[in-house]
Amino acid sequence: MNSLELLNKEQQEAVLCTEGPLLILAGAGSGKTRVLTHRIAHLIEDCGVNPWNILAITFTNKAAGEMRERVDKIVGFGSESVWVSTFHSACVRILRRYIDRLGFSNNFTIYDTEDQKSVVKDVCRRLELDPKMYKERMLLNVISRAKDEYLSPKEVEMDARGDFRREKIAQVYLEYQKELQKNNALDFDDLIVKTVDLFTVCPDVLEYYQNRFRYIMVDEYQDTNTVQFKLISILAGKYRNLCVVGDDDQSIYKFRGANIENILSFEKTFPDAAVIRLEQNYRSTGTILDAANGVISHNKGRKEKTLWTENEKGTPVEFHQFNTAYDEAEFIAGDIRRKMQEPGTEYRDFAILYRTNAQSRLFEEKFLMANIPYRLVGGINFYSRKEIKDLLAYLKTIDNGRDDLAVRRIINVPKRGIGAATLNKVDAFAQSRGISFFEALEEAPEIPGIGRALLKIQPFVHLIHEMRLKLGDLSLKELMEEILDKTGYARELEMEDTEEADARLENIDELITKIVTYEEGTEHPELSGFLEEVALVADIDSLEADDNRVLLMTLHSAKGLEFPRVYLAGMEDGIFPSYMSIAADTEEEIEEERRLCYVGITRAMKDLILTSARFRMVRGENHCNAVSRFVREIPENLLKRDGPPEKHKEQAPVDKRDQVYEKAREAFRTKTFDPRQFKVVKADSLDYGVGDRVSHIKFGQGTVLEIVEGGRDYEVKVDFDKAGIKMMFASFAKLKKIETL
């Protein structure tokens, strides 16, 4: 059988279109990898192209490995000569041969993140920059973004003129590059930048690789940044046999530098380009695809396409709205346990997808209680995350100074300049006296040779003593906020201004929410009791050793994966899409979030369940959120809506583990709050309208953007001057109209 007979009409067309520029718009689940591998095979076997002349580029080593396997299987002899590589791997191979033309030695070093930090740190020291104002991570983030856009230090400097801070950052970039060259080193971004530089200044090298790679294919083209686009454009400049495969509707990595315009403007760059749409989906039911099409059609910046399938229509998309995030997690855990009673169902069939890593905490705790094995993908278990362990170590030290591990963990967090030699002296002193590490710190003046380090140790000891004295007067939430304030832990993360730092701040907010949950659900809340409760959850790791587990992951981590049953949790305006995207000046941020929603929906093969909470606790405070606009964009005939289901008190029997596990179950039975306390009395009317200025007791003054009359209350959207956009119920908000002259 001819291998092309296994492909549909559009897939065959994409395989057979070998000459000139080609854009393959491959929708989710449309078999794009199959097309690429068959295209390579066709070039070699039917067109007589030398495998040596083919370059296939993708983004991850895993994807490159999978493509390599498929090519070897289909092509057989000679396939090893095809370059199947990531962008960075391909560039390394080129630079190892020719980088001496740019003033580097061919045995250059590739710096990792820690190496980069060291260089930036040295540069900042030489430039006498305040490390509190110019964080290493922030500087490296700015430098990386500049390289993504193929901007040199001089160009960044020119763009920054008149802005003192940006001029300093440009100076750091310049000195950083000088230092790398001096050390004969490149960072990860330089691998592509220097390859483009090489092709620009050395036409003979460029011509060699243009003749070498007469046929170029690029996968996941929607994720390319500006410098990657430049690299590909230059390489394909002679023969113009460039085939790019991607889906603009799945462009979700703007925060990493991806430029969606690369795929949207492909036909402008290559006016003679052929465009083939792969719209037949082999993954999902008709209903799920119709829901995905309904959502993504609201984006303006996209290529028109509509996914369809020959699969069955399938069941409606379910939507459940709950009072609290606690109820949401409880429902999902119960729903999984009920569905596990169906023959042939396995835990690995289920995936819970959410917008931010911080949302995983409630699911982790609920799954532990319900004895549901799970695996966290693309992240670390909530209580194992660095920032959470750091802050719990502070609480442990305040509660019990004899926990040497906790004290050691935080003695230099944030950095206090206490070196290893000093810590060794403290440790030796503690050992000789038979006292704890913290007690040794308290007696630091007596430690031989402690010297000037005493001035750094004593403030830390005073801080712990101060917190202990306040313990009786402060709630646990207030205590945590004091720790964050006094140590500057949160300020340091805010100063970093990176995606990673933002995620860590969200996790800290979720820890505060957990603290408030404990305080509200415990008759006599105490620090030791909270730490014990956390330990019971944190110490129970994977309940089962095999991979038959429910998967928990962010929507970004889920790209490229598929699951029979998918839960999209936290479908609320302010959560997904995020407040930042809602408050942005342009629609671009919302469109990026909508693409992310599209990715989430199209992960589902058979069942898709959307959930939201009316009230979600963020940083220990309850926020009232409207249902996500993305839910409202799904055609109503595809949705099965209902209110919060009756409590399923009787669940399937749970295998009893041990005493610790049972204590963990018991510890987390307490709800965040009792939804019955929210008895709403709807007003006959409101004394303010859209466009009016109003004031709120907490958020201050703002402008009313929207009022939606619901069955039990009015939902009011207000753009507050300082707090941003909030959605709230009128009965709770108690907004007061500001009379204007």
Tell me, yes or no, if 219 is annotated catalytic: yes
* Residue 606 is among the residues annotated as catalytic for this protein: no
Reading the block at residue 433, the tokens are 């006296």
250 is catalytic: yes
Q: Which helix (H) or strand (E) holds 639?
A: strand 639-642
Please list, in sequence order, all residues whose beta carbon lies within 8 angstroms of the beta carbon of residue 128, skipping any fewer than 6 positions away: none
For residue 740, the one-letter residue type is T
User: Among this protein's residues, is 32 annotated catalytic?
Assistant: yes
Using CA atoms, how far apart are residues 579 and 583, in angstroms rounded to an integer?
6
d(CA 680, CA 729): 9
Q: What is the SS3 assignment for 357?
A: helix
Looking at residue 587, what DSSP letter applies? T
List the 22-26 sheet strands across, edge first.
83-86, 54-58, 215-218, 242-246, 22-26, 274-278
Say which amino acid occupies 612: S
The residue ranges of DSSP E strands in 478-579, in sequence order, are 550-554, 563-568
Q: Which two tokens stand for residue 442?
A: 């308290």
Cis peptide before 203 (omega within 30 of 0): no
Instruction: Check if 33 is active-site.
Output: yes
**Which residues, including other chains, have CB under 8 Å from residue 717's CB and lie 6 or more apart?**
626, 704, 705, 706, 707, 708, 725, 726, 727
| Cβ atoms of 282 and 23 closer than 8 Å | no
Catalytic residue of the set 194, 214, 595, 603: 603
Among this protein's residues, is 386 annotated catalytic?
no
Report how far residue 251's alpha carbon sits from residue 598's, in angstroms, rounded to the nearest whole number. 10
Task: Give the Cα separation of 603 and 281 in Å (integer).
Answer: 12
Catalytic residue (one of 210, 250, 487, 611) = 250
Per annotation, catalytic residue among 10, 136, 189, 220: 220
Cα separation, 220 vs 66, in Å, equals: 14
Nearest of 547, 639, 554 to residue 603 by alpha carbon: 554
Phi and psi torsions of 505, nearest 5°: -65, -40
Give the DSSP H or E segment for 693: strand 693-696
Q: How far apart are CA 104 and CA 640, in angstroms?
A: 63
Q: Out of 12, 33, 458, 701, which one is annotated catalytic?
A: 33
Catalytic member of 10, 219, 365, 496:
219
Helix, strand, coil fractions of the chain, as percent rounded to 5: 50, 15, 35
SS3 assignment, position 150: coil
C-alpha triplet 264, 270, 274: angle, nearest 5°: 80
| DSSP annotation of 447 | S
The SS3 assignment for 628 reads: coil
What do you get for the CA distance between the two ends of the chain, in Å?
82
Three-class HEC string of 112-145? CHHHHHHHHHHHHHHCCCCCCCCCHHHHHHHHHH
Kindly state the greatest CA–CA separation across the chain: 86
Structure tokens at 579: 């407040």
Running DSSP on this structure, what letter comes out for residue 550?
Answer: E
Token pair 């690299």: residue: 231
Report, as residue numbers or ranges, the catalytic residues. 32-33, 219-220, 250, 603
